[in-house]
Structure 1
Amino acid sequence: MKILQRLFATVIVFVLMPCAFAASQLGVSNAWIPQAPPGVDMLAGYLTLKNSGDAPVSILAAQSDRFLTVTVHQTVIENGVSRMRELNHLEIAPGEEVKFAPGGLHLMLMQPRREVVPGDRIEITFLLSDGQRVPAMFDVQAVDASGGEGHQHHH
C-alpha cells in the first residue's frame, strides 16, 4: 500500500510541476490603483507584466472579488479625441515587458463591491489562454492635492 501511495505522490508531482512552471512565466510588478473620489463606480489599475518564459503568454481576462467586472483597456487617439478600447486578449511575447500606465494600457475596475480606500490591497487574477490563473496584489494609493498619484513617490 505504501508503494502505491509513493507512486501516486510521484505522479502528482510530475503532473503539477509543469503547471507551476507555466504560472511563473508571467511576472507582475508595480501593481497599483489610484484612489477615486467617493461614489465613483469605475477605477483604473496599473502594473507591469513581464513574460520570462520562452513562449508567448496570452491574457484572456481578469477578475476580482472586489469588482463586478475587470477588463483590459487601451487608450487610443482617434481624430484628436482620446478614447478607450477594450482588448479581448493581450499577448505578451517571450522576454517582453508590458507597462499599464495612465494614458495607455490599463485595467478598468467597474462597480466596486465596497469602498476602495488608500491602504487597501486588492487581488486581481489574470486568466491565461493555457488555463493558468495568475494572481496579483494591487495597492490602493492616495492621490495627492496636486492631482498626481501618490504612487510616483515610491520609486
Structure 2
Amino acid sequence: MSELGYRPCVGVMLVNSEGRVFVGRRIDNKEGDWWQMPQGGVDEGEDLKEAALRELAEETGAQAAHVSLIRQTEEPIRYDLPEELIGKLWGGKYRGQEQVWFLARFSGTDDDIDLQAHDPAEFCDWKWVDAEQLPDLIVPFKKRVYRAVLEEFRALI
C-alpha cells in the first residue's frame, strides 16, 4: 500500500440560502445509509476550480450560473481507503485520495438539482442538511475529512 499514491480530487460543500449543505446518497453504496457531498477526480491538467464546477454539475445538475465558489481549503486533505477497498477502486492505482475542498454558495432552487444530469448518475437521493450533521452522515473512513472541511469552512457557512 505504501507504494501507491493518492488520487487527485476535489470536493464541494454546496450551501443554500438557508445555510444548509447538499448531500447525496451514492447509488453504488448498498451497505449503509451514508450520504456525501459532491466530489470527484481531477483530470490531467485540469484547473481545480474548473474540476469542482464540473464535478458539481455532473453529480447534482447545479450549473455554474447558480454557483459561486467562496473559498478552498488551505491545504489538500488526504485519506486512505480501508484495506478491503484498496485495489478495487480507481483501477487499483491509489491508496486513497488527496482532496481540495471548495465552499460554494448555491443561488438556484431545488428544481435546479438534477441527479440524472450525468450518465451514469452517482446519487440516487439528495437532501439539504445542517452542516454539523456532516461527519455523522459520511462513511466512517471519511469522517476525519468531513470534520476538517467543516472546521475550515464553519465561519463562512
TM-score for the superposition, normalised by structure 2? 0.31
User: Which protein is bigger by CA-based radius of gyration?
Assistant: 1
Structure having greater relative contact order (Cα 8 Å, sep ≥ 6): 2
Structure holding more helix per residue = 2
Structure holding more strand per residue = 1
